[in-house]
Amino acid sequence: MSMIKEFKEFAMKGNVMDLAIGVIIGGAFGKIVSSLVDNLLMPLVGILLQGVNFSSLSLKVGDAELKYGLFIGATIDFIIIAFVMFLIIKGMNNLKRKEEAAAQPTPPAPSKEEQLLTEIRDLLKSK
């Protein structure tokens, strides 16, 4: 029974739940980007390239068929997802820096005694 209890504690930790939610949202986002590329971008690029259909681009090598058009679409999917993730991480880092800057207390101004001692030290150095 202790193994089940340990697993339950592990599964209910915040990091595991955050990861699970991230994977689910990431999968859905990937489907949206794939649909965007397959149904909107690639047909537009095909029109610009005089009616080329990227999903049918292939090369026969012996009995094998190399579908490089699908590879091009998958590469564009990856580039879009990587760019969006870059923007998200960049935004999170900017927010984190702003929070850290706001959290750092400014050092207190030197007391009158410290100011006077600094002036005395400077006068002694100048002589």
State pTM to two decimals.
0.61
Q: Which residue has the higher pLDDT, 127 or 64?
A: 64
Q: Structural domain tally of the chain?
A: 1
Q: Looking at residue 65, what is its pLDDT?
A: 92
Q: Nearest Cα to 55, choosing from 90, 63, 65, 86?
A: 65
- State pLDDT tens for residues 11-63: 777 677 778 888 898 889 889 998 988 888 888 888 888 888 888 889 999 99
Show the tokens assigned to 83.
């760019």
Q: From 74, 76, 57, 58, select the one nearest 66 (Cα to Cα).
A: 58
The residue range of the domain holding 52 is 2-126
Which domain CATH number covers 81? 1.10.1200.120
